[in-house]
Amino acid sequence: MKILIVEDEQAAARRLEKLLLEIAPETEILGHLESVEACLNWLQQHPAPDLMLLDIHLADGSSFEIFEHLKVTCPVIFTTAYDEYALQAFKVNAVDYLLKPIKSVELAAALDKYKQLFQQNTPDFAALLEHIRKQEAPNYLRRMLIRLGNSIKLIDMSDAAFFYTKDKITFLIAHSTGKRFPVDYPLDKLETMLDPKDFFRINRQFILRINAIKEMQPYSKSRIKVETTPAADQEIIVSTERAATFKRWLVGEAV
């Protein structure tokens, strides 16, 4: 069994090779590649391996790009650091996945699956790629660097109570201290960067984190008044057109 390892972390690549040779001593490792470009070049210049172990995030980009530029004819087992819920997408078209850090028993099971199913069947990678991309978890903003004079402050998004605009400047209010910090992004941009499970754009001026909500009250014209911790220096009103969506967000429904 000839296997090609595509993994940009040297330690992870060495561990994979060690586990492979322990599980299947007859395995021949054809090489270790670290990038999309290197993998494309190798596949164009060599016969297809029996199996490829492919990390999703490589040194120069996503390994999905390989399938966009080249027809891959060998079976692939993906390796990834995604959480297990998101990885359900990989259980299609007889292609397996391994969650990092890779365990010997899981690698052995993946190789058994390959031997039973892959040797006689080439997966439909086009369909797999589309399915994976639909399921792939977005990379939401987790921390923010904020410049304060000659210093730079790092703020975790778990400490962001809300964002608002005033005089065409966007501010972040820290949950732990109540302090206000100017940020470089407009609310329209922040709305796409923040995890929608935690943050909600309640009107044109405010993006609110769910943990900052202290109390809510009905307001005129089907709107909702929100009190926060820390308190805002102006009223926070959920707009009429966003009120119904806001209620669904509060209980965890998709919005």
Q: How far apart are CA 184 and CA 192, in angstroms?
A: 14
Work out the mean pLDDT of the chain and round it to a whole number. 86
Contact indicator for 193, 140 with CB cutoff of 8 Å: yes
pLDDT single digits (tens) 94-139:
467 778 888 999 999 989 888 887 665 555 666 666 666 665 556 7
Superfamily (CATH) of domain 143-250: LytTr DNA-binding domain (2.40.50.1020)
Q: Tokens at residue 228, please? A: 């926060």
pLDDT at 24 over 60: yes
95 versus 142: which is more confidently predicted? Answer: 142
Q: What is the pLDDT of residue 41?
A: 93
Q: What is the mean pLDDT of residues 212-216?
A: 95
| Length, in residues, of the chain | 255
- Compare 192 and 149 and report the one with higher pLDDT: 192
Torsion angle defined by CA atoms of residues 127, 128, 133 and 134, in that order, rounded to the nearest 10 degrees: 70
Out of 3.30.420.40, 3.40.50.1980, 3.40.50.2300, 3.40.190.10, select the CATH number for domain 2-135: 3.40.50.2300
Q: Are strands 97-99 and 76-80 parallel, antiparallel or unpaired?
A: parallel
For residues 191 and 232, the answer to whether their CB atoms sit within 8 Å is no
* pLDDT for res 159: 95
Domain extents in the chain:
2-135, 143-250
Residue 79 pLDDT greater than 60, yes or no: yes
Helix (H) or strand (E) holding 57: strand 57-58
